[in-house]
Each structure stands twice: as C-alpha cells, then as structure tokens.
C-alpha cells in the first residue's frame, strides 16, 4: 500500500456541460467523459451493443476459398479434422466447427494437441496421425498462422489445410487452401480483435446466411472463448459477448448449464466475470492436466445427464489443479521465505507439475513484485515459465541472457524458455545483473475514472445506469471510482478472516464495502481514520433487498488533509490536483455569503477537518482553495497558527474582480 499511485482524471468543463444536457446519469456521464468520449453522441455510439456491430465475414481474406474448400469436402464426403488448442478459446473454436460441420453431414473429428507432449500449435507428428486416419482436410482453429513447414508437410502427404487463427501473422504465411486471420496485413476486415472462436464463428457465418440461428446455437460458446482469451470486449466482440452472456443466462448449452450448476454459481448473477473466474479455469484445468477430452465432451454434450458427468469430472480436475498449484506454491515459498528476494526469482524443481507452474509464477510475481521464472527440470532439460512485473521487459531480458539458454520465446510480460539444468545458476546471476542495470521504471498505478465528489450520486439509479457499459472486462473495464476524505467507520473480517467488510461514510452517506484478500493487519489504515478509497460498484442482492456495495481496490490514509494543509499552511499546491477542485465563481460568492452569515468569522482546525463547520456545500480542498482566493482578494484576513485556521471577513469589502486573484487565474487558466 502507498506504493500504488492514483492518477486522477481531468475532464474539460465544456465536455461536462455537454453531458449535463444529455440523458446520461451524472455517474455514467462522468465515466464516459473520463474515457475520452468528448461528446454524448460518441459515448452513445460506443455503448451500442446490437447487430450493427457484426462485420461481413467475406471481408476476411481467403474466406471465399475457405468456404468453397469446405463445401467441396462436404460434397466429396472427405474426412476432415478440426485442429484446435488446449485452452478455452482453442477448445471452444474446435467444438463450434465440429458441431457445425457435423450438422452439415461432414465426417469430422477434433484433434487437440497434448499440452505437455506436443505443446501449442500444429505439429508434423499430429499431421501424420491424422493422415493415417485418412483425413483429407485439416481446419485449424486458434493456431496455425506460423505453421509454414507443417502446412508444407501436410501438402506433401496429399492433405489440404485451412488455417483459421487470430494471432499475429509472421512475414511469410503458410501455404494452404485458405489462411483466415483478421490480423493479416492485407485484411480488409474492420475488426482485428476476434478470438480464435470468433474467427471460427465468422467462418460458419460465411457458410450460412441465417446469422440469428447461428447466434442462437453458438453465441454462448463464442462468448466463453472470447472472454477466456482476454480479448477486448469492444466492437464486434462487445456484441458477441453481450448476446452470448444472454444465451448463457437463458438458454445455455447443456455443458455450460451443468458446469455452472456443479460450480455452485447457477443462482448468482452471470457476468463476464463468471466466465473468466468460474467457467474458464475449470475448462482450462482439462488442458493443464492433459485431459482436454473432458472439456470437449462437456461442450458437445447433447443432454443434461451426459453434461453432468463431464461437469463433475471437470470440477474434480480443477480441484486437482488447485492442489498441484498449492504444492508448487508452498514449495516455492519454502525457498523464498527466509530472505526477501530483491532480484528476479528463478526457481527450479523436478517435482512440479508443468501444467501449473505458469499460474504459480504469476502468483509469485504478484506476491514479491518481481519478475519470476519457474523451471521444471528433468534429467537433461529445464523448461521454464516466466512472468514479468511492472514495465520490466522480460523478452529483452531473456535476449540479453540468451547465452545461458537453449531457446526462449514470448513477449514483454510472459515468456517460456528451455535451459540445461547445469546453466540455471549462471542464468539466475545474469538475469539479476540485467535487472539491476535495467530496473523497472514505472510503478503500478491506478487510474480511477471518476472522483466522486457527491456521494449521493452513488444511488441505486446511478449504479444501475452503469450497466449500460456491460459486458465489462478486458478493454472495457468496470468503472473505477474513488472517494477522498471518507471516514472509515468500522471494519470486520468476513469469509473466515480472508476478506474484510468495511463501512465508510462521507457527508452523512454510509457505504458498505468489501475488500477481498485483505485483513485488518495488512490494510494500512484503521478504524476512525480518514481515508481515500478506490473501488468498483456492485448491486448487492441480499434477501431480495438491493443495496449498493463498494468493492474496494485500494485504500490509503487520506491525502486530502495533507493537501488542505499544503494549501493553507505552506501555500504549496499541485496545480493538476488542485484543478480537480477549483471553485466556480458562484461557489466563491456563496462561500463569501456563508462566512458573512457566520458573523464574518470562520474557524476550523485540521484535527477536526472533516467535521461539519458550517460550510457543507464545498469539499475540503475546494474550501481551502476558496479561502485562499478570497484572501488574495483581501476579502478575508486568514491566519493559520498551530493547525488552527482563522478567517475574518474584512469590513470594507466592496465590489471585486475574481480575476485579480492569481490563484483563481491559475486554476482556471485556458478555460475562462
Ligand atoms: Mn486464442
């Protein structure tokens, strides 16, 4: 705590004013302003989630070729294989195409490579296996865009390949009957961010004219793959996930219904988070433990009984995955618990399950705020999963240490490597050396969308208006809000002491808050203190009574008081911060009148700063700025002694020009 920087948004007044005349609630308007939609019209357009977001599948390069090759396979009764991947996106795409192809009478099977034996992507051995099974056509999903030599190999065996993928394209594309990828440099397709399952769905749309029927059959599958693959939920993905989540709520595939039931969330509100945190890990567990068939059988299950069997098994696999993860975690912690590591964590073991070391590496990264490399070693080889932290570029770091590695690949945040076990020590030192030369520069920061100045705006109506943003997730995050200078009234542990329930109040409004994975000990603030909080909003449904609940993301001892003291005692202020609170002309006039009404005398002390002292219409920082401005104009005579502020209204105050105050001019520079 305290190490996360909060970056407050600033929105130009003319934009705020334009929204004030629109039909947006003040809360939603503030969020849209903060997200850069400078007119209500643009904001409306971005909130659209209807069919007009669907793009023409024929705009994807090679789509025509893909369609005619598949039609030919149907006509000639050629055996076809759909080649997928072991993650949720890869499994969803494979099941989608298989189901559709079978519905067209095509003799078709699914091939998912084994995570540990084969790894990601298409490989020659798999192609040979498919060849032996008399497969004439391979359609890849969620992979294949780099399979230049594999496509050549398939061709040499007399097999055709259609590649559908959504990953970045290499310089040279594979030679295949069709290569469909929205990221192709020659693509005219307007939306690049489809998931693998999105591309598979577009292929089916190209073959079938009735999009509504296809959405009715596959929208939930498309949504699950897209959300699990952390694709941005904007544009076409926004519509696909919106309608897919609707289907997941009302008319899900039997497999998804069974999995939601088995996971115990079937009665809870279903959002993108349900997919991300409940469905996806369970489906992924199958891939991690090399049992992808469990997942494909679940998704393809045609009835409830069948689906239940596979859902139970997937949940069991997921529990096993969690156990393995804990084993790896505890083992790693036993290496690290004595010393607080200062440079990248590089650990090795011959007993870890390779399917879960990536997750363990991510958790270590979070725990220690350091890049982490976890290496599974057998006799001659070490295979490492690497995760970065902050803006430390892992890929560049591995490049710099590559003399100790057999091979490596990946990107700035996550990578994989192969290493000879005897070189691990030298690699660890080289990485530590590189890290000390190139430490991460940017500290993690939070960027709240909106600073809530009026807590009453967090009404049920306001909170419900935010649902127009749904589905929220990657690329369209839940609005992050903050309140400054609230009082932490009480806190209590919940969930066996794992989480905290907090009650905070500001200006007489009381809020229920939950802070997950925090205890009173590691909260950093205590009851009775004045705090700033950063949070997202949730509607809490308890005994069918609805209430607003704040999900805390970060809490800190309030800097508001600090800012006030800086303004009045030290005459120091950060202009960007101060502009958030700059008082309007009318507000200054109102302040002046109020002080006169109080008998020309305003007295306050910093130790009771958040208590009511007669000026309730201004928040503390704004009030302090107002006092300074009125003092500069000689309307007030202000003195600050020992934390006590005394303002006396001058008797001979005539008409005055606000612009004569240097502070007022500074605050309103460029916007007057
Ligand atoms: Mn994918």
pLDDT at 435 over 50: yes
Mean pLDDT of 147-156: 97
The pLDDT, as a whole number, for residue 390 is 84
pLDDT at 495 over 80: yes
Task: Report CA(190)–ligand 1 centroid distance (Å).
Answer: 19
The pLDDT, as a whole number, for residue 14 is 73
pLDDT at 664 over 90: yes
Task: Report CA(579)–ligand 1 centroid distance (Å).
Answer: 44
Closest CA to 580 of 4, 43, 6: 6
Q: How many CB atoms lie within 10 A of CB 86?
A: 26
Mean pLDDT of 379-384: 90
Q: Between residues 389 and 189, which one has the greater pLDDT?
A: 189
- Give pLDDT tens digits for 183-233: 999 999 999 999 999 999 999 999 998 999 999 999 999 999 999 999 999
The pLDDT, as a whole number, for residue 152 is 98
Task: Report CA(248)–ligand 1 centroid distance (Å).
Answer: 20
d(CA 391, CA 439): 9
Task: Report CA(225)–ligand 1 centroid distance (Å).
Answer: 8
Is 15-45+446-558 assigned to CATH 3.40.630.30? no
Q: Are 250 and 244 in contact (CB under 8 A)?
A: no
Mean pLDDT of 587-594: 88
Q: How many CB atoms lie within 10 A of CB 276?
A: 17
Q: Are 145 and 169 in contact (CB under 8 A)?
A: yes
d(CA 310, CA 321): 16
Q: How many CB atoms lie within 10 A of CB 320?
A: 17
Can you read off the two tokens belonging to residue 304? 């409830």
The pLDDT, as a whole number, for residue 613 is 65
Question: Regarding beta strands 345-349 and 372-377, do their DSSP bridges make them parallel or antiparallel, or are they unpaired?
Answer: parallel
The pLDDT, as a whole number, for residue 616 is 67
The pLDDT, as a whole number, for residue 653 is 65
pLDDT band at 396 (very low <50, low <70, confident <90, very high): very high
Task: Report CA(270)–ligand 1 centroid distance (Å).
Answer: 23
The pLDDT, as a whole number, for residue 158 is 97
Q: Are 486 and 506 in contact (CB under 8 A)?
A: yes
The pLDDT, as a whole number, for residue 1 is 37
d(CA 395, CA 400): 9
Q: Which fold has domain 339-437?
A: Diaminopimelate Epimerase; Chain A, domain 1 (3.10.310)
User: In whole numbers, what is the pLDDT of the chain averaged over residues?
Assistant: 91
The CATH code of the domain at 561-668 is 1.10.10
Task: Report CA(447)–ligand 1 centroid distance (Å).
Answer: 28
The pLDDT, as a whole number, for residue 611 is 66
- Give pLDDT tens digits for 19-72: 988 999 989 998 998 898 999 999 999 999 999 999 999 999 999 999 999 999
Task: Report CA(53)–ligand 1 centroid distance (Å).
Answer: 21
- Give pLDDT tens digits for 591-650: 998 898 889 999 888 877 766 666 767 777 888 999 999 999 999 999 998 889 999 998
Per-domain boundaries in the chain: 15-45+446-558, 57-210, 339-437, 561-668
Task: Looking at the structure, give the CATH architecture of the domain made up of residues 57-210.
Answer: Alpha-Beta Complex (3.90)
For 437, counting Cβ atoms within 10 Å of its Cβ (0-12 exposed, 13-18 middle, 19+ buried), the class is: exposed
Task: Report CA(201)–ligand 1 centroid distance (Å).
Answer: 13
Q: Are 153 and 96 in contact (CB under 8 A)?
A: no
Closest CA to 649 of 631, 623, 632: 631
The pLDDT, as a whole number, for residue 612 is 61
Can you read off the two tokens belonging to residue 648? 């006396």
Instruction: Mark out the alpha helices in 263-415 (DSSP H runs).
Output: 272-274, 280-288, 292-300, 304-336, 357-368, 394-400
* C-alpha to C-alpha distances, 176 to 70, 156, 403, nearest whole angstrom: 13, 12, 36
Percent with pLDDT over 90 in the chain:
69
d(CA 349, CA 345): 13
* C-alpha to C-alpha distances, 101 to 109, 288, 551, 592, nearest whole angstrom: 9, 27, 44, 76
- Give pLDDT tens digits for 282-332: 999 999 999 999 999 999 999 999 999 999 999 999 999 999 999 999 999
Task: Report CA(653)–ligand 1 centroid distance (Å).
Answer: 70
Percent with pLDDT over 70 in the chain:
96
* C-alpha to C-alpha distances, 212 to 54, 57, 208, 663, 669, nearest whole angstrom: 11, 14, 10, 60, 54
Task: Report CA(196)–ligand 1 centroid distance (Å).
Answer: 5
Mean pLDDT of 479-495: 92
Q: How many angstroms separate the first and last alpha carbons of the chain?
A: 38
Task: Report CA(195)–ligand 1 centroid distance (Å).
Answer: 5
Beta carbons within 8 Å of 487's beta carbon, 6+ residues apart: 504, 505, 506, 528, 529, 530, 531, 610
pLDDT band at 569 (very low <50, low <70, confident <90, very high): confident
Mean pLDDT of 253-268: 96
Task: Report CA(497)–ligand 1 centroid distance (Å).
Answer: 37
- Give pLDDT tens digits for 449-467: 888 878 888 999 989 999 9
Closest CA to 152 of 122, 196, 194, 182: 122
The pLDDT, as a whole number, for residue 444 is 64
Task: Report CA(286)–ligand 1 centroid distance (Å).
Answer: 16
The pLDDT, as a whole number, for residue 135 is 98
């Amino acid at each position: 705590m305290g190490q996360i920087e909060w970056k407050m948004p600033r929105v130009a007044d003319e934009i705020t004013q334009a929204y004030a005349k629109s039909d947006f609630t003040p809360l939603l308007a503030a969020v849209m302003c903060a997200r850069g939609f400078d007119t209500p019209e643009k904001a409306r357009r971005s909130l659209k989630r209807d069919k007009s977001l669907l793009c023409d599948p024929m705009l994807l390069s090679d789509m025509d070729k893909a369609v005619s090759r598949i039609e030919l396979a149907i006509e000639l009764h050629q055996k076809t294989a759909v080649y997928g991947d072991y993650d949720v996106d890869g499994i969803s795409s494979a099941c989608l195409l298989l189901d559709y192809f079978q519905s067209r009478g095509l003799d078709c099977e699914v091939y998912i490579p084994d995570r540990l034996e084969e790894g990601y992507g298409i490989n020659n051995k798999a192609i040979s296996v498919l060849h032996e099974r008399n497969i004439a056509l391979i359609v890849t999903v969620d992979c294949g865009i780099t399979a230049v030599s594999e496509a050549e190999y398939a061709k040499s065996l007399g097999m055709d390949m259609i590649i559908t993928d959504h990953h970045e394209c290499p310089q040279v594309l594979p030679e295949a009957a069709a290569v469909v990828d929205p990221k192709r440099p020659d693509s005219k397709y307007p939306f690049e961010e489809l998931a693998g399952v999105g591309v598979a769905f577009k292929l089916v749309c190209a073959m079938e004219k009735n999009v509504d029927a296809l959405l009715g059959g596959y929208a939930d599958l498309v949504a699950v793959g897209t959300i699990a693959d952390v694709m941005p939920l904007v544009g076409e993905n926004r519509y696909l996930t919106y309608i897919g989540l609707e289907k997941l709520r009302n008319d899900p595939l039997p497999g998804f219904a069974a999995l939601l039931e088995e996971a115990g969330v079937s009665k809870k509100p279903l959002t993108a988070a349900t997919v991300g945190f409940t469905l996806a890990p369970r489906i992924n567990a199958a891939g991690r433990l090399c049992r992808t068939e469990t997942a494909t059988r679940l998704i393809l299950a045609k009835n409830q009984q069948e689906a239940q069997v596979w859902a139970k098994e997937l949940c069991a696999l997921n529990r096993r995955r969690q156990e393995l993860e804990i084993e790896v975690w505890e083992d790693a912690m036993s290496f690290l618990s004595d010393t607080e590591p200062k440079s990248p964590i590089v650990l090795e073991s011959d007993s870890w399950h390779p399917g879960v070391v990536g997750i363990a590496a991510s958790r270590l990264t979070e725990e220690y705020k350091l890049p982490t490399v976890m290496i599974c070693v057998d006799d001659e080889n070490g295979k490492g999963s690497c995760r970065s932290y902050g803006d430390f570029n892992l890929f560049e770091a591995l490049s710099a240490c590559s003399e100790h590695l057999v091979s490596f690949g990946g990107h700035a945040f996550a990578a994989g490597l192969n290493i000879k076990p005897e070189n691990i020590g030298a690699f660890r030192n080289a990485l530590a050396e590189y890290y000390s030369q190139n430490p991460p520069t940017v500290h993690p920061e939070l960027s709240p969308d909106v600073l809530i100045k009026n807590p009453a705006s967090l009404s049920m109506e306001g909170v419900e208006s935010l649902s127009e943003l749904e589905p929220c997730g990657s690329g369209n995050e839940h609005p992050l809000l903050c309140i400054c200078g609230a009082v932490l009234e009480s806190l209590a542990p919940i969930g066996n002491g794992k989480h905290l329930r907090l009650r905070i109040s500001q200006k007489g409004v009381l809020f229920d808050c939950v802070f997950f994975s925090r205890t009173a000990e590691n909260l950093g603030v205590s009851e009775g203190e004045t705090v700033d909080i950063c949070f997202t909003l949730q509607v809490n449904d308890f005994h069918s009574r609805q209430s607003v609940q704040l999900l805390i993301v970060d809490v800190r001892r309030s800097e508001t008081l600090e800012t006030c003291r800086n303004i009045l005692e030290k005459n120091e202020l950060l202009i960007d911060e101060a502009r958030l609170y700059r008082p309007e002309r009318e507000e200054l006039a109102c302040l002046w009148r109020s002080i006169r009404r109080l008998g020309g005398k305003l007295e306050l002390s910093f130790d009771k700063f958040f208590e009511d002292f007669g000026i309730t219409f201004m928040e503390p920082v704004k009030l302090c700025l107002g006092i300074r401005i009125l003092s500069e104009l000689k309307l007030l005579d202000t003195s600050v002694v020992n934390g006590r502020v005394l303002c006396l209204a001058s008797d001979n105050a005539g008409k005055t020009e606000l612009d004569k105050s240097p502070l007022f001019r500074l605050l309103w520079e460029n916007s007057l």
